[in-house]
A and B are shown apart, each in its own frame.
Chain A
Amino acid sequence: MISPHAKLADTVFSKDVELKSTRDGFGTGTVEAGKADENVVVLCADLKESTRAEWFEKEFPGRFIEVGIAEQNMAGLAAGFAMAGKVPFIASYAAFSPGRNYEQLRTMVALNNLPVKVMGMHAGVSVGPDGATHQMLEDMGLMRMLPRMVVINPIDAEEARKAVVAAAKTKEPTYIRFGRSPVPVITTSETPFEIGKALTLWNASKPKVALMATGAMSSVALAAARALDADGIACTVLHVPTIKPLDEKAVLAAAQAAGKVITIEEHQVAGGFGSAICEFLAETYPVPVKRLGIQDVFGQSGEPNELLEHYGLGAPHIAEVARQFVGKTL
């Protein structure tokens, strides 16, 4: 059953559930953070409409900085702004930032230890028709490897807003990942969010498998859990918005309770969320794990849902993998 603690929207399983891109949470979150702290500034590399950076620009034109198509310079400028006491958010597509400017972020943000907030938009195959070049699938891995870098992958626009507001208040360099296509808004203003904390979305007594998911995949995992429940397969769903630092306590507890884990992410299975879970569990409580995600290939053009299904990230496929994993095929 849905965990009451998660305080999810009543519409969570309804066809009337609100659909929004998580990037909308960047727009609303920076406006909110900008009102709370006049040092918050937003830099954008010629993508202010699609990143929603223009929502901040409308509110605070003097604190919006247009950089042009120059993500490397944007990272360095942000480091400079941070050294001068600002809290800079830099917005572009994840393929370009942190894709293009990885070394700039490594040296000038992480090694410099500055509170630059890197906002990677259009991550995952659900970018859709733009195709493989723009479907960033390696960003969480890149950012997770950097010492000091906090990595957050929100489930929906509401959690993305909370993540942005929270990130504006910390001293850590932080990466937040956003998607392009509209996804269900299943959390509410009451849903707990704290950087570094995971959230149980679906509870069961004597679960046979724990579905651990990140980003909008957590909503898909929830749909899979409901289908499994209908088949009499008890499972839990742990939503892990913060990949780093990992909520080790929650991950360990879920793994111990279920004894089997499936990780689900819209990212390469190498280096990202599934890797983080495996690394932790292998050293603390080894259990069988299946990693669902992109299996060492690039994406392609198509409609978001059709692509997610093609790459094995639709709810029916996740449920089927879980059935086989617990030895109860239909």
Chain B
Amino acid sequence: MSVTDAEVADLEKKAEQIRETIITMLVSAGSGHTAGPLDMADIFTALYFHILKHDPKNPEWEERDRLILSNGHIVPVRYATMAHAGYFSVEECQTLRKFGSRLQGHPERERLPGLETTSGPLGEGLSQGAGIAYAFRMSEGTRASASNARHVYVCMGDGEQDEGNVWEAAMWAGKNKLSNLIAIIDRNNIQIDGMTEDIMPLGDLRAKYEAFGWHVLEVDGHNMRQFIEAVDEAKAIFEKPTVIIAHTIAGKGVPDIETDFHWHGKPPTKEEGAKFLKELRTAGGRVPHEYS
């Protein structure tokens, strides 16, 4: 699946709109996580607007790809992207975390069609994704590995890699050579209590996943083309599951908060939100020194 320069430009524009929605919905909610949703906005845009086989008007379409969000706390990026993709109105995003809303603080599959799983407690998405991928292969045989077959994507955080459950699942997926499984790690280097390498060093994530039998790719998580091409490569690997380590800048797009772990788990105030919207930049070229 190639991508043209014009398509990349469109995706970048869309990502900026999604970041705007994320900021306004977090201000409205008054609680929630800011850094992760902002830094995953480019990848979620690429997934929903270019990569995934899905139908916003028919979320239960059997032939859809499955996107599992393991680190459920960044769900504002998923809600915002789904809204812009046509699953529901962008206005509904403003109900985030409110009583009676379908947009729960952490995603619940039974409340909003299209979420696939309920998540929040970390370390669980890879198990579920591996189970789905294996079950697809049981039903479809080797056809399940074809590049046009249903794929299972699992988004995880980097702090989440502290969880033992992740490595139980990684070992099992490697053993079973689940080539229809593509994991994406948001490598933003922060978690709630600080920098990942201070809290619990992850060290060489590439070597770790390779040792567990995975094909490993590393990309700039704010470069649409790199990410899309990495997914293409992942689909072409038939003997292993693939993990894409996406190097991202926590809080990407708002200079005031970029790389600051204190913004992992809090929302902007109304005043901060207004300021952030003004500062908002995209990977589209307004910060050329970072994207030479």
How near does chain B come to A39, taking the closest CB pair, in angstroms? Answer: 9
B186 interface hit (Cβ, 8 Å): no
Taken together as a complex, chains A and B put the C-alpha atoms of A254 and B127 apart, in Å, by 45
Stretch at the interface among B161-169, B201-209, B211-219, B264-272: B161-169
Within 8 A of A (CB), among B112-126: 116-121, 123-124, 126
Stretch at the interface among A62-70, A260-268, A308-316: A62-70
B139: A residues at CB distance < 8 A? 84-85
Please encode chain A, from 92 to 111, with 1 for each CB lying within 8 Å of some chain B CB and 0 for all others: 00000000000110011001
Taking a contact as CB atoms under 8 Å apart, the answer to whether A73 and B135 are in contact is no
Taken together as a complex, chains A and B put the C-alpha atoms of A323 and B255 apart, in Å, by 78
6 A-B contacts, Cβ less than 8 Å apart? A65-B134, A70-B172, A76-B127, A80-B134, A111-B118, A113-B109
B256: A residues at CB distance < 8 A? none
Taken together as a complex, chains A and B put the C-alpha atoms of A266 and B121 apart, in Å, by 32
A75 touching B127 in the complex, CB below 8 Å, given contacts A67-B172, A68-B171, A81-B134: yes
Taking a contact as CB atoms under 8 Å apart, the answer to whether B172 and A107 are in contact is no
How near does chain B come to A89, taking the closest CB pair, in angstroms? Answer: 13
B237 interface hit (Cβ, 8 Å): no
Taking a contact as CB atoms under 8 Å apart, the answer to whether B172 and A68 are in contact is yes
Taking a contact as CB atoms under 8 Å apart, the answer to whether A76 and B169 are in contact is yes
Q: How many residues of A contact B (CB 8 A)?
A: 29
Taking a contact as CB atoms under 8 Å apart, the answer to whether A72 and B127 are in contact is yes
Taking a contact as CB atoms under 8 Å apart, the answer to whether B121 and A77 are in contact is no
Closest A residue to B119 by beta carbon equals A107
A76 touching B124 in the complex, CB below 8 Å, given contacts A65-B134, A83-B117, A112-B117: yes
Q: How many residues of B contact A (CB 8 A)?
A: 32
Seed contacts A73-B168, A83-B116; 16 additional CB < 8 Å A-B pairs: A63-B138, A67-B172, A76-B169, A78-B131, A80-B130, A81-B132, A82-B131, A83-B66, A85-B135, A86-B135, A103-B121, A104-B165, A108-B117, A108-B124, A108-B128, A111-B118
A211 interface hit (Cβ, 8 Å): no
A107: B residues at CB distance < 8 A? 118-121, 124
B110 interface hit (Cβ, 8 Å): yes
Taken together as a complex, chains A and B put the C-alpha atoms of A104 and B139 apart, in Å, by 25
A79 touching B168 in the complex, CB below 8 Å, given contacts A72-B127, A84-B135, A108-B128: no
B108 interface hit (Cβ, 8 Å): yes
How near does chain B come to A64, taking the closest CB pair, in angstroms? Answer: 11
B108: A residues at CB distance < 8 A? 111
How near does chain A come to B127, taking the closest CB pair, in angstroms? Answer: 2
Taking a contact as CB atoms under 8 Å apart, the answer to whether B131 and A72 are in contact is no
Taking a contact as CB atoms under 8 Å apart, the answer to whether B168 and A84 are in contact is no
Taking a contact as CB atoms under 8 Å apart, the answer to whether B131 and A76 are in contact is yes
How near does chain A come to B272, taking the closest CB pair, in angstroms? Answer: 32
Query: Contact check: which of B116, B136, B165 meets A73 at CB < 8 Å?
Result: B165
Taking a contact as CB atoms under 8 Å apart, the answer to whether A79 and B172 are in contact is no
Query: Contact check: which of A41, A70, A84 meets B132 at CB < 8 Å?
Result: A84
Q: Which residues of A contact B (CB under 8 A)?
A: 41, 62-63, 65, 67-68, 70, 72-73, 75-86, 88, 103-104, 107-108, 111-113
Taking a contact as CB atoms under 8 Å apart, the answer to whether A77 and B127 are in contact is yes
How near does chain A come to B122, taking the closest CB pair, in angstroms? Answer: 10
Closest B residue to A84 by beta carbon equals B135
How near does chain A come to B192, taking the closest CB pair, in angstroms? Answer: 18
Taking a contact as CB atoms under 8 Å apart, the answer to whether A84 and B118 are in contact is no
B110: A residues at CB distance < 8 A? 112-113
Query: Contact check: which of A62, A73, A103, A112 meets B172 at CB < 8 Å?
Result: A73
Query: Contact check: which of B109, B133, B165 meets A76 at CB < 8 Å?
Result: B165
Taken together as a complex, chains A and B put the C-alpha atoms of A316 and B139 apart, in Å, by 54
How near does chain B come to A69, taking the closest CB pair, in angstroms? Answer: 9
B37 interface hit (Cβ, 8 Å): no
How near does chain A come to B136, taking the closest CB pair, in angstroms? Answer: 6
Taking a contact as CB atoms under 8 Å apart, the answer to whether A70 and B168 are in contact is yes
Taking a contact as CB atoms under 8 Å apart, the answer to whether A77 and B131 are in contact is yes
B221 interface hit (Cβ, 8 Å): no
Closest A residue to B117 by beta carbon equals A112
How near does chain B come to A110, taking the closest CB pair, in angstroms? Answer: 10
The 8 closest A-B pairs by CB, nearest first: A80-B131, A76-B127, A84-B135, A73-B168, A77-B131, A70-B168, A80-B132, A80-B128
A86: B residues at CB distance < 8 A? 135, 138
Taking a contact as CB atoms under 8 Å apart, the answer to whether B124 and A70 are in contact is no
B273 interface hit (Cβ, 8 Å): no
Taken together as a complex, chains A and B put the C-alpha atoms of A75 and B124 apart, in Å, by 9
Closest B residue to A43 by beta carbon equals B131
How near does chain A come to B106, taking the closest CB pair, in angstroms? Answer: 9
A72 touching B165 in the complex, CB below 8 Å, given contacts A84-B139, A104-B124, A107-B120: yes
Q: Interface centre among B124, B127, B139, by most A CB within 10 Å? A: B127
